[in-house]
Amino acid sequence: MTELEKKAYMLLKSIIFHYHGLDEDEIQNLNETADELGAHNELKWASDFISEDHMTSFDRARKYLNGIIGDMTKEKRTKYIHLVWQANLLKGYITEMEATAMMQLALDWNVHQELLELVKGKE
C-alpha cells in the first residue's frame, strides 16, 4: 500500500468511525490498523483533517477520497470500503447513518453493487 493509499484508507476508516463519535474500541481499531500499516502519520493527518471542522468533515473527506480512491481499480475500491464495513461491524452493528455514508461512497466509486453483494453474502 502506497503512502497515498494509507492516507486515504485511514481517512476513510476514521471518517466512518467519527460519524457518531469515536468509542474506545474504534480508537483501538484505528491504532491497530496504523500499527499494521505503519500509518501513524496518516492516522494523525486523518484526525487533524476531521477535527479541522467536524461538521463538514464527511463532505470534505468525500471530495478528497473521490479524487484518490475513485482513480483506483474497482477491486481496490471495493476492498477498502468493505474492509471499513467489516471493521465497523466489529462492534456488533452498523448504524443507519454509517451504512448510508459507506453506501454514498460506494456509489461515488461505482462499487455499490459489489459492496451489497459482499455484505449480503458474508455479514
Per the listing, cell 449480503 goes with: 120
Query: For position 121, what pLDDT does the model report?
Result: 80
Task: For residues 101 and 20, give the distance between their C-alpha atoms in angstroms, rounded to a whole number.
Answer: 11
DSSP secondary-structure letter at 90? T
Locate all alpha helices (DSSP H) within the chain, ordered by sequence. 3-17, 24-37, 40-52, 57-68, 74-89, 96-108, 112-122
pLDDT tens digits, one per residue of 55-100: 999 999 999 999 998 789 999 999 999 999 999 988 888 889 999 9
The total of structural domains in the chain comes to: 1
> What is the number of alpha carbons within 13 Å of residue 61 lying toward its C-beta?
31
Grid cell at residue 95: 448504524
Contacts of residue 83, defined as CB under 8 A and 6 or more positions apart, other chains included, come to: 9, 13
Nearest 5°: CA angle at 59, between 73 and 72? 5
Q: How far is CA 58 from the centre of its chain?
A: 11
Query: For position 90, what pLDDT does the model report?
Result: 86
Query: How many residues does the structure list for the chain?
Result: 123
Q: How far is CA 2 from the centre of its chain?
A: 16
Q: Is the pLDDT of residue 1 over 90?
A: no
Q: Which domain holds residue 26?
A: 3-122
